[in-house]
Amino acid sequence: MRDFFIFNSMRKITLSFTLLAAILLISSCGNSQSATTSKKVKTSLNTNVQQAEVEELLKYLSSNELKGRETGTEGIELAAQKIESIFEENGIQKYFDTYRHNFEIKGVEGFNVVGMLEGNDPKLKDQFIILGAHYDHIGIQESVEGDSIANGANDNAAGTVAVVELAKKFAKIDDNKRSIMFVLFSAEEMGLVGARKIAQQLKEDKLDLYTLFNFEMIGIPMHNKDYIGYLTGYENSNFAEKFNEYSGKKVLGFLPQAKEYNLFKRSDNYPFFEEFNVPAQTISTFDFTNYNYYHHVADEAEKLDVVHMTNVIESVIPGILKMANTPQKEIKLLKK
């Protein structure tokens, strides 16, 4: 009986240990599976942009107070101060000693506003992506129904807002291997002068420019298109193809009128293409049929679609981030 008791006691202990081991093994496997699963699950990129902030900046830049932001006037000075204050608040770095790149044209003092976010990769951070838009406009014009201020909401407060909002967003994401430069060009309305001046300066600095992505007149959506905005110089590079691949959807498309009117050479991207011979192109949603107030005193914030603008800004974030992080320069000019 004693031997039987001992045998049964040992058997119970053995079974208990076996059961405990099995429980621990199952628990361990479960934890291991959870750990593996958690490693596989990648947090989706937060591309949310605050629509209220888009609208607020749009309204300020195109307000009567700024009197059309003509280069060399008090209005563009106020616009520059606003942009600089946002850069400062969001930790955007200076490329030059200040946020301003100064130049002179026909006796007029002009300045581009320039900020940057340095890349976090020891090698790739010396390569730059530029996000740009012109923030000047044509100022005071001949009066129409008592209004003489060409506010320039779509042209190009809209593009300016996009670049500023992207600067804010990428400062929060803080995950760019390449450096990103944010440039608001002045004197575009005088013949792409600000863009040309800084392109020449950066070329002298031997800047390693990968691409330039310019924003021009994005305040109104196009109709019956399977893409969000068209890319000027579409056929010159694989920019749109790769960008759409990076984005997981068709963000950029081809607009025949853009080629017909040679828009590739008519915006601030072009001086960079001339100086650096790299993909330097512009996104726009103005297609010559959806907005009647180009260079008109009625180009005001109230006529723009802020929901659409916010969508444009959010839609380009994944593509830009991927462009900033690929090991190789995958976006290239096409040989002709």
Each residue of 294-322: pLDDT tens digit?
999 999 999 999 999 999 999 999 999 99
- Its sign, for the CA torsion 214, 216, 220, 222, is negative
Structure tokens at 317: 């974030």
Cα Rg, the chain, nearest whole Å = 27
**Residue-level pLDDT at 62:** 98
pLDDT band at 17 (very low <50, low <70, confident <90, very high): very low
152 conformational bin, left if phi > 0, alpha if psi -120 to 50, beta if neither: left
Q: Where in the chain are the domains?
A: 1-42, 51-323
CA 298 to chain centre: 27
- Please check the confidence at residue 10 and state whether its pLDDT lies above 60: no
**Residue-level pLDDT at 15:** 39
Please report, rounded to a whole number, the percentage of residues in the chain having pLDDT higher than 70: 87
User: Distance (Å, rounded) from C-alpha 190 to C-alpha 163?
Assistant: 21
Alpha helices for the chain (secondary structure H): 2-40, 51-61, 74-89, 158-173, 193-204, 239-247, 256-260, 270-276, 306-323
> What does the pLDDT average to over 116-144?
98
**Residue-level pLDDT at 75:** 98
The pTM for the full model equals 0.87
Please write the tens of the pLDDT for every residue from 186-197: 999 999 999 999
Annotate 149-192 with DSSP letters as a single string: E---IIIIIHHHHHHHHHHHHHHHH---SSEEEEEEES-GGGTS
**Residue-level pLDDT at 335:** 86
> What does the pLDDT average to over 271-288?
98
Q: What one-character DSSP code corresponds to residue 136?
A: -
**Residue-level pLDDT at 8:** 40
**Residue-level pLDDT at 29:** 42
- Please check the confidence at residue 79 and state whether its pLDDT lies above 80: yes
Which of the four CATH numbers 3.40.630.10, 1.10.3980.10, 3.40.50.720, 1.10.620.20 does domain 51-323 have? Answer: 3.40.630.10
Report the chain's mean pLDDT, rounded to a whole number: 90
pLDDT band at 3 (very low <50, low <70, confident <90, very high): very low
> What does the pLDDT average to over 320-333?
98
Q: What are phi and psi of 265, to 5 degrees?
A: -95, 5
**Residue-level pLDDT at 279:** 98
- Please check the confidence at residue 16 and state whether its pLDDT lies above 60: no
User: Distance (Å, rounded) from C-alpha 230 to C-alpha 247?
Assistant: 15
Q: Indicate the range of 40-44, 122-126, 319-323 predicted with least confidence.
A: 40-44
Residues near 168 by beta carbon (within 8 Å), at least 6 away in sequence: 86, 90
- Please check the confidence at residue 31 and state whether its pLDDT lies above 70: no
Q: Indicate the range of 22-36, 123-137, 234-248 predicted with least confidence.
A: 22-36
> What does the pLDDT average to over 11-33?
41
3-state secondary structure of 32: helix
Omega of the bond leading into 156 within 30 degrees of 0 (cis): yes
> What does the pLDDT average to over 85-103?
98
